[in-house]
Amino acid sequence: MTPDEFKAARQAAGFATQEAIAEAFDLNRRTVSRWERGQVPVPKVVEIALGCMARLRLQDGAAD
């Protein structure tokens, strides 16, 4: 997952800010920032979780 893909997935899953996803995943915001800058690879489990969350959000109509 590229940094741009991560940011898009984060937003599609309903996390408007790095702080929001960091809190939800019990992470330090700096970790999220490093993922978005491409300094550290996004863990596969986070990729999968964000994909699931984005799909559920779309199904619920929350992304309208």
pLDDT tens per residue across span 42-56 = 999 999 999 999 889
* Reported confidence tier of residue 63, pLDDT bands at 50, 70, 90: low
pTM of the prediction? 0.80
Contacts for 49 with CB less than 8 Å, ≥ 6 apart:
25
How many domains does the chain divide into?
1
Rounded CA-CA distance 22/28 in Å is 6
* Reported confidence tier of residue 33, pLDDT bands at 50, 70, 90: very high
Rounded CA-CA distance 31/1 in Å is 15
Q: Which domain holds residue 38?
A: 3-60
Give the CA count within 13 Å in the CB-facing half-sphere of 40. Answer: 10
Q: Give me the chain's average pLDDT, please.
A: 91
